[in-house]
Amino acid sequence: MSDKPIAEVLNRRRFLGAAGLAGAGAMLPQLAQAEAPKPDPLITEVQDWSRYLGEGVDKRPYGMPSKYEKHIVRRDVSWLTASPESSVNFTPLHEIDGIITPSGLCFERHHGGVAEINPADHRLMINGLVDKPLVFTMDDIKRMPRVNRVYFLECAANSGMEWRGAQLNGCQFTHGMIHNVMYTGVPLKVLLNEAGLKPNVKWLMLEGADAAGMNRSLPIEKALDDVLIAFAMNGEALRPENGYPLRAVIPGWQGNLWVKWLRRIEAGDQPWQTREETSKYTDLMADGRSRKYTFVMDAKSVVTNPSPQAPLKFKGRNVLTGIAWSGRGTVKRVDVSLDGGRNWQTARLDGPVLDKSIVRFYVDFDWNGQELMIQSRAIDETGYVQPSKDELRKVRGVNSIYHNNGIQTWLVRPDGEAENVEIG
């Protein structure tokens, strides 16, 4: 920051004109030479919003973002899937900050479209190897002891298009199958205790009420550890697209297990070998064999700004930011490189650093217009270091779709535009 008193800085800026205000530092010397100072009408004229009364409190019973933020939306990639009902859209990571994803921007992934369920008609059944099969209404669930937790949900297919090289130009598309929200819900172990598990229970099967009837097998150790049955996100009811009125929250594990519109939990002594854990969500290795039940999402990070959808606009002072996460606990450190991994600096983490949650990192830096190769690398509390894409391919080959947590590189050109690239 300048040492000059604020009044003096403001006075100087007032004579710069609109472009000077928008362009701040970098444009300052050229402008001073090219044009005589012009008064800025945004300062000298009374604007409409100051002249006329605004809308009253009765106009927005449920608030929406400003009309000037209209471009900030989830987006899909039309060629990726055959139909929008069994598809995915992506969180605009380059347009959000902090650690919480606004509910309306959380990416959606569903296999049979959004189930629209009246909560009065919703039931959750617990059956199978239990002492007492039970059926809960939403009212029953809301009378059980509840907790609040912030967790990331990452689809196992996030960055799945990047296995064979740089594909999609924007962190929304390369990394946007993730969101991070605060859930309110009942620990699954509380519900299971009510039903009473038989001693030989090893697995549960979670089933959704959507047209896909999506179901997955979950090991009992995880179910009794930190799994929640959630009815709220970010303080309000789950959104329909995210599982209203009830979903499973499986912290740190791949998003496919987080069954939405949850209607049944069956207890058993072995996995169900469902479609989603045999033909899908398995990792095809170089030798043609498949890894199954790879639940945990390993540590990963991405620089969200600058990135292809968010180029650098100004020389001089800039803020680089991004997100990091780990399915094994907290993120301990994030390193950032501006020269393709030759030199690394430790980024500043800001905001809460929570278990199995996104953390926000920043590097405040000066840009002179030189070419940059921006990378970030997450290190979690277990000491696990996010691998380069080449290191990952050495172990996994290139046949995989899922679990790509390789280091992302953005090339920033002298004009500030950024591009998805790979360093060999």
93 binds ligand MTE (CB under 6 A): no
DSSP letter, residue 121: G
Question: Is the CB of 17 or the CB of 327 nearer to ligand MTE?
Answer: 327
Distance CA 321, CA 302 (A): 9
The correct pick among 174, 180, 217, 256 for binding ligand MTE (CB under 6 A) is: 256
Residue 108 binding ligand MTE, by CB under 6 A: yes
Among 212, 227, 320, 374, binds ligand MTE (CB under 6 A): 212
326 binds ligand MTE (CB under 6 A): no
Q: Does 217 bind ligand MTE (CB under 6 A)?
A: no
| Residue 208 sits in the site that holds ligand MTE (CB under 6 A) | yes
CB of 116 to ligand MTE, least distance (A): 13
Determine contact, residues 278/215, Cβ cutoff 8 Å: no
User: Is residue 255 involved in binding ligand MTE (CB under 6 A)?
Assistant: yes
Structure tokens at 222: 């995880």
Q: x/- binding map, residues 115-154, to ligand MTE, per CB under 6 A? A: --------------------------------------x-
The DSSP output letter for 65 is -
Amino acid residing at 179 = H
The residue among 144, 100, 151, 150 whose CA lies nearest residue 126 is: 144
Which segment (27-35, 96-104, 162-170, 257-265) binds ligand MTE by CB under 6 A?
257-265
CA end-to-end span of the chain:
39
| CB 290 to ligand MTE: min, Å | 18
Binding residues for ligand MTE restricted to 223-252, rule: CB under 6 A = 241-242
CA neighbor of 265 nearest in space, from 224, 300, 294, 324: 224
Give the one residue of 16, 129, 214, 230 binding ligand MTE; rule: CB under 6 A: 214
Residue that has been written with the tokens 């939306």 in this structure: 73
Q: Give me the torsion for CA of 341, 161, 261, 296, rounded to 10°.
A: -40
| Class of residue 381 by CB neighbours under 10 A (exposed 0-12, middle 13-18, buried 19+) | middle
Characterize the bridge pairing of strands 283-284 and 290-291: antiparallel
Site string for ligand MTE, 50-89 (x = CB under 6 A): ----------------------------------------
- Distance of alpha carbon 261 from its chain centroid, rounded? 20
| Number of chain residues interacting with ligand MTE (CB under 6 A) | 21
CB 279 within 8 A of CB 288: no
418 interacts with ligand MTE by CB under 6 A: no
Is there binding between residue 205 and ligand MTE (CB under 6 A)? no
Binding site for ligand MTE (CB under 6 A): 106-111, 153, 155, 179, 208, 210, 212, 214, 241-242, 255-256, 258-261
